[in-house]
Amino acid sequence: MRRLIKHGNIIDDTWQPLDPDCSVPEHGQICSLEQWQDLADKEGSAVQLEPGQEPTPLFDALEKIDLLVINFPVFTDGRGFSYARDAREHGYQGELRASGHFIRDQLTYLQRCGFDAFQMADDSDLNAALTSLRDFTEHYQAAIDQPLPLFRRRS
Amino acid sequence: MYVYDQHDQKIIDERVAQFRDQTTRFLAGEITDGEFLPLRLQNGLYLQRLAPMLRIAVPYGLMNSSQLRKLADISRTYDKGYVHISTRQNVQLNWPLLEEVPDILAELSTVQMHAIQTSGNCIRNTTTDQFAGVASDELEDPRPYCEIIRQWSTLHPEFAFLPRKFKIAVCGSTQDRAAIHYHDIGIELVADDDGEIGLKILVGGGLGRTPAIGSVICEWLDKKHLLTYLEAVLRVYNQHGRRDNKYKARIKILVRAMGIDAFREAVEQQWTALKDGPSTLTEEEIIRARSFFRDPSYLALDSTLAMFDLEQDCTRDPIFANWITRNTQDHRLPGYRIVTLSLKATGFAPGDITAEQLELLAELSDLYSFGEIRSTHQQNMVLGDVQVSALYALWQRLQVAGLATPNIGYLTDIICCPGGDYCSLANAKSLPIAEAIQTRFDDLDYVYDLGPLELNISGCMNACGHHHVGQIGILGVDKKGQEFYQICLGGNQAKDASIGKILGPSFKQKDVPEVIDRILSTYVTLREEDESFLDTYRRVGIHPFKERAYAQAY
Ligand code: HEM
Ligand code: SF4
């Protein structure tokens, strides 16, 4: 079972990984965007977005989604940061997971954009990665973790 | 100028600690080269031909004397005793050691400086008019808005891995001295019909391989919407900018592909979700930002008396008089002048300044200019608030230090990138070209007779030396492994912006000064009365210049 960081703890993944070839994913399995769009019942579903797939098609059913995975095939492609914020700003409340080849030095930024779970391609040292989540304790700009910009909080 | 409180200091200190940890892990082999690359770039660190290069941020080009002293100190301890002023008003160290960069950053943080986002595919240092706050043609001081943008963009979590770098410039005056047409976003403070000052927003300008002039995306925006609007533009760009080809990744390519109207629509759509949200600027925040740029304790001066003394000094000393004409400008207040210090003495790399000169500048700024110094995108330095009565004493000190070359805005005030001597991307050297031209045109009377003229040199297509916007631009190209130089004419970075046109086949290094000479004498022959080079070029076109330049072998 793969491990991941969620809400600051290292846990086992309870979701079935995505299988792009299966026609009807089981309940508890992560769907591709196409598979998810074909799901008859989206209640409790899980869906994975790739770069180039904006979250817009999910907006009508966000409350039915339990897990939104945003995949990073390469860590330098930052589209997922905007997708995450967009989804959260449209009211998504479920687990928002980054997966793939992002690096631990990006964890604070990912967290600020609304991710609360991190499944790293290289999960050999998740404990070390946890420390990177605490790189910053203060921020200038508003984001998902701190909706007020510093200028509304300065004292 | 802006002063950190405990919050600002904490953010910068945490960044230093983070980068120290990253460097340690990199040196221990725990981070790959590829992973370390964007991390170090976002801290201003390039690995170059001979050594790393560290680019230190100078937000909108404003520094105080203790920062200058610190830079001098750092350049002695960690480098070779000089620094370079970049075309984006930043300061570069050319020879630091990677292992020592965290220490340099820690030293910088003690004087409220950093190297955050001075390179990499993120929002870069915001630039502005070097005469902000003192210019006589200013509608409103742009620096409070630059500072607001600096804070918003610093360590912005969403926009640290953009398709490509992103540069913002702000201008608040009639004349555009910030080149806002050549930035990813250019912002101009403008009054609407009722006289209320708001923001005009341009998008999609840039230099590099495909130079482009920015398009107007918003004619007038209430200032309180500044950050939400920027956020909307950046979000559209981050999601839709090309990532398959780094030469097509700048926002200018996206704007061109979508068309400005469709792009505007996409931005407005994003903006509806962000508008009036928590990032909307409060009145108090604008007032707070402005409070850092209030007038220093100016004296109410009798300008007639001061001018009388100045004229006497000028009559006594024609060399001083000439420097006054060439290197100083009207201040918005009587009895004060703006002084530009030339970093373009022949024989020195344009924009280089030594530790001793930095310390001298610090001292002179304390004595004569409220302890503040500005860097310019033409790679010079400015003392913004000098009393007319102090000019003679100031000039004498500058003369001795080699900082009084009277060439500001003229042919030999060359903008030049580091080129092949330092930069691993270069096609050709650029510094020797600058020097050859300065040496050839050492007759100041001829240079003055040519009038204001911008000559800009880049060592490759990346255009760090702004060659497209020089009235004369020189670009290093590679021809079968040999260094050649292409020349373009007619560029201009002011409000009536234009991009230079290529003259024709490129030239050998040794021929460049002769070709420049021919171009200039063509202008001298063709100009009508005191027509400028640019106006003559615009009237007669490129052909007369071309004919003369290629007339015969050299
Ligand atoms: C020596 C190390 C340097 C490297 C490796 C470097 C690299 C680059 C690259 C790759 C670009 C093109 C980016 C693009 O168009 O997307 C660029 C543009 C630019 N660089 Fe540099 N540069 C260096 C030094 C400098 C220096 C010393 C200056 C200032 C004198 C400078 C100022 C600029 C500016 C103003 C641009 C403008 C083009 C634009 O953004 O539209 N660079 N640089
Ligand atoms: S223009 Fe080219 S040669 Fe010059 S500094 Fe930029 S990348 Fe290097």
> How far apart are the CA of A59 and the nearest CA of chain B, in angstroms?
13
- CB-based contact B158:A81 (threshold 8 Å): yes
Taking the C-alpha atoms of residue B423 and residue B349, their distance in angstroms, rounded to an integer, is 14
Question: Which pairs count as long-range contacts for B357-363, CB under 8 Å and 24+ apart, including other chains?
Answer: B357/B401, B357/B402, B357/B403, B358/B68, B358/B69, B358/B71, B358/B72, B358/B75, B358/B83, B359/B68, B359/B69, B359/B72, B360/B397, B360/B401, B360/B403, B361/B65, B361/B68, B361/B403, B362/B65, B362/B66, B362/B68, B362/B69, B362/B72, B363/B65
Identify the bridge partners of residue A100 per DSSP, sorted by sequence position: A72, A120
Burial of A49 (0-12, 13-18, 19+ CB in 10 A): buried
pLDDT at B422: 85
- Fill in the amino acid letter for B461: M
Nearest chain B residue to A101 by CA distance is: B35
Cα B83 to middle of ligand 2, angstroms: 17
- Nearest by CB to residue A109, choosing from B5, B160, B277, is B160
Taking the C-alpha atoms of residue A94 and residue B460, their distance in angstroms, rounded to an integer, is 49
Ligand 2 cavity residues, CB under 6 Å: B 417-419, 423, 425-426, 458-460, 462-465
| Span(s) in chain B for CATH 3.30.413.10 | 134-290, 415-549
Q: Is the dihedral of CA B172, B177, B178, B181 positive or negative?
A: positive
Q: State mean pLDDT over B179-186.
A: 95
As a three-state string, the secondary structure of B183-221 is CCEEEEEEECCCCCEEEEEEECCECCCCCECCEEEEEEE
A90-133 per-position pLDDT tens digit: 999 999 999 999 999 999 999 999 999 999 998 888 999 999 99
B47, B48, B462, best to mutate for ligand 2 pocket (most atoms within 8 Å of CB): B462
Cα B462 to middle of ligand 2, angstroms: 6
Q: DSSP label at A26?
A: P
The residues near A128 (Cβ < 8 Å, ≥ 6 apart) are: A104
Determine the topology of domain B6-109 in CATH: Sulfite Reductase Hemoprotein; domain 2 (3.90.480)
Residue B381 parent element (H or E): strand B381-387
- Nearest by CB to residue B235, choosing from A51, A82, A137, is A82
Q: Using the beta-carbon criterion (under 8 Å), do A141 and B288 form an inter-chain contact? A: no
The mean pLDDT of chain B is 94
Taking the C-alpha atoms of residue B344 and residue B307, their distance in angstroms, rounded to an integer, is 28
pLDDT at B81: 95
Nearest chain A residue to B273 by CA distance is: A89
Q: Which CATH architecture has domain B134-290?
A: 2-Layer Sandwich (3.30)
How far the first Cα of chain A sits from its last, in Å, is 47
CATH classification number, B415-549, choose in 3.40.50.300, 3.60.110.10, 3.30.2320.50, 3.30.413.10: 3.30.413.10
Q: State mean pLDDT over B238-251.
A: 95
Query: Helix or strand or coil: residue A66?
Result: strand
Q: What percent of chain B shows pLDDT beyond 70?
A: 99
Q: Tokens for B494, please give them.
A: 């002011």
Model confidence band, residue B392 (pLDDT cutoffs 50, 70, 90):
very high
- CB-based contact A49:A69 (threshold 8 Å): yes
- CB-based contact B404:B323 (threshold 8 Å): yes
* Atom 8 (ligand 1) nearest CA: B462
Taking the C-alpha atoms of residue B189 and residue B170, their distance in angstroms, rounded to an integer, is 8
Taking the C-alpha atoms of residue B38 and residue B21, their distance in angstroms, rounded to an integer, is 15
Identify the bridge partners of residue B197 per DSSP, sorted by sequence position: B191
Asked whether residue B376 carries a pLDDT value surpassing 90, the answer given is yes
Q: Where are the domains of chain A?
A: 3-153
Model confidence band, residue B503 (pLDDT cutoffs 50, 70, 90):
very high
Taking the C-alpha atoms of residue A147 and residue B280, their distance in angstroms, rounded to an integer, is 12
pLDDT at B48: 67
Distances (CA, A) of B215 to A103, B187, B259: 36, 11, 10
What atom in ligand 2 is closest to the CA of residue B423?
8
Cα B93 to middle of ligand 1, angstroms: 15
B41-75 per-position pLDDT tens digit: 888 888 766 678 899 999 999 999 999 999 999 99
Query: Helix or strand or coil: residue A25?
Result: coil
Say whether residue B160 is in contact with chain A using an 8 A CB cutoff: yes
pLDDT at B315: 95
CATH classification number, B308-401, choose in 3.90.480.20, 1.10.10.10, 2.60.40.10, 3.40.50.300: 3.90.480.20
Asked whether residue B553 carries a pLDDT value surpassing 70, the answer given is no
Model confidence band, residue B287 (pLDDT cutoffs 50, 70, 90):
very high
pLDDT at B494: 82
Residue B501 parent element (H or E): strand B501-502
Is it true that domain A3-153 has CATH number 2.30.30?
no
- CB-based contact B469:B179 (threshold 8 Å): yes
Model confidence band, residue B344 (pLDDT cutoffs 50, 70, 90):
very high
Residue B264 parent element (H or E): helix B260-274
Taking the C-alpha atoms of residue B164 and residue B150, their distance in angstroms, rounded to an integer, is 18
pTM of the model: 0.93
pLDDT at B465: 93
- CB-based contact B61:B375 (threshold 8 Å): yes
Asked whether residue B391 carries a pLDDT value surpassing 60, the answer given is yes
B246, B352, B425, best to mutate for ligand 2 pocket (most atoms within 8 Å of CB): B425
- Fill in the amino acid letter for B361: L
- Number of the ligand closest to the Cα of B165: 1
Asked whether residue B554 carries a pLDDT value surpassing 60, the answer given is no
Q: What percent of chain B shows pLDDT beyond 90?
A: 87
Asked whether residue A24 carries a pLDDT value surpassing 90, the answer given is no
Asked whether residue B186 carries a pLDDT value surpassing 90, the answer given is yes
Q: Which of B63-67, B178-182, B476-480 holds the top average pLDDT? A: B63-67
The mean pLDDT of chain A is 95
Write the ipTM. Answer: 0.96
B462, B475, B493, best to mutate for ligand 1 pocket (most atoms within 8 Å of CB): B462
pLDDT at B215: 97
Q: State mean pLDDT over A44-59.
A: 97
